[in-house]
Amino acid sequence: MIANKDTIKKDFAGKVKSMFGKNIEEASSLQKYEALADLIRDYSSINWSKTNSQYKANNEKQVYYFSMEFLIGRLLKSNLYNLGIEEECRVALKELGIKLEEIEEQELDAGLGNGGLGRLAACFLDSMASLGIPGHGCGIRYKYGLFEQKIVNGYQIEIPDNWLKEPNPWEVRKDNKAVVVKLGGRVIENYENGYLKFTYENYQGIKAVPYDIPIIGYDNKTVNTLRLWSAEALEEEEAVNLNLISRGEYFKALEDKASVESISQVLYPDDSKIEGKLLRLKQQYFFVSAGVQSIIRSYKSKKNHINDLYKYVAIHINDTHPSLAVPELMRILIDEEGLEWDKAFEITNKTISYTNHTIMAEAMEKWQVDMFKGILPRIYMIVQEINRRFVEDLKVKYKMEQGKINKMSIINENHIKMANLAIVGGYSVNGVARLHTEILKKRELKDFYELYPEKFNNKTNGITHRRWLLEANPSLSKLICSTIGTEWIKKPEELINLKKYSRDAAFQDRAAEIKKKNKIEFSKEIKDRYGVEINPYSIFDVQVKRLHEYKRQILNLFNIINLYFKLKENPNLDIVPRTFFFAAKASPSYLLAKEIIKLITTVQYKINNDRSIKDKIKVLFLENYGVSLAEKIIPCADISEQISTASKEASGTGNMKFMMNGAITLATLDGANVEIREAVGEENIIIFGLNADEVMNYERYGGYNSKEIFNRDPIINKIVNSLINGYFQVPNCEFINIYKHLIDKNDEYFIFKDFHFYVNAQEKAEALYKNYNKWKEMSVINIAHSGRFSSDKTIENYSKEIWNTRKVNII
Ligand X SMILES: *Cc1c(COP(=O)(O)O)cnc(C)c1O
Nearer to ligand X, 130 or 461 (CB): 461
Give which of 500, 407, 419, 409 is closest to 455, Cα–Cα. 419
Closest CA to 178 of 142, 209, 139, 138: 209
Under 8 Å between Cβ of 456 and 649: no
Nearer to ligand X, 515 or 545 (CB): 545
Q: Does 217 bind ligand X (CB under 6 A)?
A: no
Span 266-325, contacts to ligand X by CB under 6 A: none
Catalytic residue among 32, 357, 618, 793: 357
Order of strands, edge to edge, in the sheet holding 664-667? 617-621, 578-583, 539-544, 639-642, 664-667, 686-687
Residue 115 within binding range of ligand X, rule CB under 6 A: yes
User: Nearest approach, Cβ of 123 to ligand X (angstroms)?
Assistant: 9
Question: Where in 494-553 is the site for ligand X (CB under 6 A)?
Answer: 545-546
Residue 551: active-site member: yes
Q: Taking the complex as a whole, how short is the minimal distance between the CB of residue 514 and ligand X, in angstroms?
A: 21
- The 3-state secondary structure of 303-345 reads CCCHHHHHHHEEEEEECCCCCCHHHHHHHHHHHHCCCCHHHHH
Least Å from the CB of residue 585 to ligand X: 9
Single out the segment in contact with ligand X by CB under 6 A; choices: 55-63, 111-119, 164-172, 279-287.
111-119
Please list, residue by residue across 412-424, b when 16 or more beta carbons sit within 10 angstroms of its beta carbon and e when fewer do: beebbbbbbbbbb
Alpha-carbon gap, residue 250 to 744, rounded angstroms: 58
What's the rounded Cα separation, in Å, for the pair 289 and 286? 5
Q: Which is nearer to ligand X, 119 or 417 (CB)?
A: 119
Q: Which of residues 571-610 bind ligand X (CB under 6 A)?
A: none
> Scanning residues 651 to 680, which ones bind ligand X (CB under 6 A)?
652-654, 657
- Of the listed 61, 551, 753, 788, which one is catalytic? 551
Looking at residue 220, its amino acid is N
For residue 56, the surrounding DSSP H or E stretch is: helix 29-58
Q: Tell the smallest beta-carbon distance from residue 464 to ligand X (Å).
A: 11
Q: Which is nearer to ligand X, 367 or 658 (CB)?
A: 658
* Cβ neighbours for 174, distance < 8 A, ≥ 6 positions apart: 209, 210, 211, 212
Angle, alpha carbons 168-171-177 (nearest 5°): 140
Range in contact with ligand X (rule: CB under 6 A) among 96-104, 444-452, 622-630, 733-741: 622-630
Q: By Cβ distance, which residue is nearest to ligand X?
A: 654
Active-site residue (options: 74, 77, 545, 594): 545
Based on the shown chain and the rule CB under 6 A, indicate whether residue 626 belongs to the binding site for ligand X.
yes
Nearer residue to ligand X within complex by CB, 322 or 652: 652
Give CA–CA dist 173/194, Å, rounded.
43
Sign of CA dihedral 362, 417, 140, 232: negative
Q: Which one of 87-95, 112-120, 163-171, 350-358 is the stretch in contact with ligand X (CB under 6 A)?
A: 112-120
In this complex, which beta carbon is closest to ligand X, that of residue 288 or of residue 674? 674
Residue 597 near residue 549 (C-beta atoms within 8 A): no
Least distance between ligand X and beta carbon 610 (Å): 30
Catalytic residue among 282, 436, 546, 618: 546
Q: Does residue number 467 form part of the binding site for ligand X (CB under 6 A)?
A: no
Q: Is the Cβ of residue 323 or residue 358 nearer to ligand X in the bound state?
A: 358
Count CB neighbours of 157 within 10 A. 13
Q: Does 116 bind ligand X (CB under 6 A)?
A: yes
Helices 29-58 and 76-83 pack at an angle, to 10 degrees, of 50
Write down the least CB distance from residue 105 to ligand X, Å: 17
Q: Is 666 helix (H, G, I), strand (E, B) or coil?
A: strand
List the one residue out of 623, 551, 598 whose CA is nearest residue 736: 598
Size of the site for ligand X (CB under 6 A): 12
- Of residues 32, 119, 221, 785, which one binds ligand X by CB under 6 A? 119
Near ligand X in 627-656, by CB under 6 A: 627, 630, 652-654
For residues 613 and 595, what is the distance between their CA atoms, to the nearest angstrom? 26
Q: What is the spatial distance between Cα 98 and Cα 96, in angstroms, rounded to a whole number?
A: 6
Interactions with ligand X, residue window 17-56 (CB under 6 A): none
Site map 774..803 versus ligand X, x via CB under 6 A: ------------------------------
Residues 6+ apart with CB under 8 A from 270: 114, 587, 589, 590
CA 144 to chain centre: 17
Q: State the pairing for strand pair 539-544/639-642.
A: parallel
The neighbouring-strand residues paired with 579 are 540, 618
For 519, the enclosing helix (H) or strand (E) is helix 505-530
Within 533-665, residue ranges assigned H as helices are 553-569, 591-608, 627-633, 654-660
Q: Which stretch binds ligand X (CB under 6 A): 6-14, 440-448, 608-616, 624-632?
A: 624-632
- 277 has catalytic annotation: no
Smallest distance from ligand X to CB 476, Å: 18
**Residue (508 or 653) nearer to ligand X, CB:** 653
602 is catalytic: no
553-569 and 714-722 helices, crossing angle to 10°: 100
CB of 118 to ligand X, least distance (A): 8
Task: Tell me, yes or no, if 300 is annotated catalytic.
Answer: no
Furthest-apart CA atoms within the chain: distance in Å: 92
Residues 683-702, mask of contacts with ligand X (x by CB under 6 A):
--------------------
C-beta of 357: minimal distance to ligand X in Å?
A: 11
Shortest distance in whole angstroms from residue 584 CB to ligand X: 9
Return the range that interacts with ligand X (CB under 6 A); candidates 115-123, 218-226, 590-598, 783-791.
Answer: 115-123
Closest to ligand X by CB, 409 or 642:
642
Q: Does 383 bind ligand X (CB under 6 A)?
A: no
Give the whole-angstrom CA distance, residue 34 versus residue 167: 8
**657 among known catalytic residues:** yes
Query: Is 415 marked active-site?
Result: no
Nearer to ligand X, 376 or 669 (CB): 669
Nearest approach, Cβ of 144 to ligand X (angstroms)?
17
- Quick one: which of 192, 182, 8 has its CA closest to 85? 8
Element (H, E) at 172: strand 172-173
For ligand X, give the closer residue by CB, 119 or 618: 119
Q: Which residues bind ligand X (CB under 6 A)?
A: 115-116, 119, 545-546, 626-627, 630, 652-654, 657
> Which positions are annotated as active-site residues?
357, 545-546, 551, 653, 657
